Amino acid sequence: MELTQFTDFSLRTLIYVGLKNGELASIREIASSFAISENHLTKVVHGLAKSGHLKTFRGRGGGITLGKAPEEIAIGELVRELENMAVVECLRPDGGACCIAGICKLQHALRRATEAFLAELDHYTLADLITNEVDLKERLRVS
Amino acid sequence: MELTQFTDFSLRTLIYVGLKNGELASIREIASSFAISENHLTKVVHGLAKSGHLKTFRGRGGGITLGKAPEEIAIGELVRELENMAVVECLRPDGGACCIAGICKLQHALRRATEAFLAELDHYTLADLITNEVDLKERLRVS
């Protein structure tokens, strides 16, 4: 059971950009700090800009900043947006093809487990993830 | 975020075999009831036999039965055994390669979320999943 790399990189990107305190970040510096692919990160940043979590400015002097205050970026909500949370096929909107879907108590148990996972993440906003700003900035070499 | 097909099929197999009340099941009938691959199911049954959840008997008159009472098959424990629960790379035993692992509050949040997911499944044993025996047997054509 894993989150997609897309969700993982989206969350890391928001942490990085949040640490910049309004200064512009670049895809290059984020990719370099986390030692991840610039190519993947470009798609991640595009997605987060489309959903309003990031604002991007083109050209010389351009870069990336948060599209909302860190307190307004709810982690549970973001994961719901980014991730397919149907942990088994019968929890998909189309219901899947299992013949016991609807009367299956395992389906119910897995739905409750997924809700518990997300409810835990609902305790956090981006602001909560960057309270140890000094330590994070040092590790990530954020100037 | 999805469970593997292996985990999904393992859980469905145990539900099916549990509904047989001690009579032997065959891979063919389980595969046919759920409309899933016999080939995949063979590996699943092998795995569950190895872990003691199933007992298999070879040859004519052979088949599959539960290796423990349904009340003793704890769903949370089973999912922990079958599934990689490291939802992001920093939660793997090797710690992954992310430079903020260890001081990252997201890592902490995701660990807690995963624990909440499993804690919910800890409320169930196989016995709880087959209490609506009559309805399940009808849908699955269990004789």
Domain boundaries, chain B: 1-73+126-143, 74-124
- Please tell me if residue B8 touches chain A, with a CB cutoff of 8 Å: yes
ipTM of the complex: 0.96
Residue B99 DSSP SS3:
coil
Chains A and B form CB pairs within 8 A to the count of: 139
Span A89-114, average pLDDT: 95
pTM of the model: 0.96
Of A77, A100, A81, residue with least CA distance to A89: A100
pLDDT at B61: 87
Spatial CB neighbours of B99, under 8 Å, sequence gap ≥ 6 = A33, A34, A35, A139, A140
pLDDT at A135: 96
Of A8, A98, A103, the CB nearest to B132: A103
Distance CA A85, CA A43 (A): 21
Of B75, B74, B69, residue with least CA distance to B55: B69
Minimal C-alpha gap between B62 and chain A (Å): 26
The CATH number given to A1-73+126-143 is 1.10.10.10
Q: What is the dihedral of CA B22, B27, B33, B38, to 10 degrees?
A: 160
Q: What is the pLDDT of residues A45-97, one digit of tens each?
A: 999 999 999 999 998 889 999 999 999 999 999 999 999 999 999 999 999 99
pLDDT at A61: 87
The terminus-to-terminus CA distance of chain B in angstroms comes to: 35
Distance CA A43, CA A47 (A): 6
Q: Are B54 and B17 in contact (CB under 8 A)?
A: yes
Q: Are A34 and A28 in contact (CB under 8 A)?
A: no
Low-confidence ranges of chain B (pLDDT < 70): none
Minimal C-alpha gap between B134 and chain A (Å): 11
Instruction: Please classify residue A35 by burial: count the beta carbons closer than 10 Å to its beta carbon, then call 0-12 exposed, 13-18 middle and 19+ buried.
Output: exposed
Residues 72-131, chain A, touching B (beta carbon < 8 A): 75, 83-89, 97-100, 103-106, 109-110, 112-121, 123-124, 128-131
Q: Determine phi and psi for B41, rounding to 5 degrees.
A: -65, -35
B87 and A116 within 8 Å at the Cβ level: the answer is no
Angle between helices B5-19 and B38-50 (to 10 degrees): 80
Distance CA B12, CA B34 (A): 8
B35 and A132 within 8 Å at the Cβ level: the answer is no
pLDDT at A59: 87
Give the largest CA-CA distance in chain A. Answer: 59
| Paired tokens of B8 | 């999904």
Distance CA A133, CA A18 (A): 9
pLDDT at A23: 96
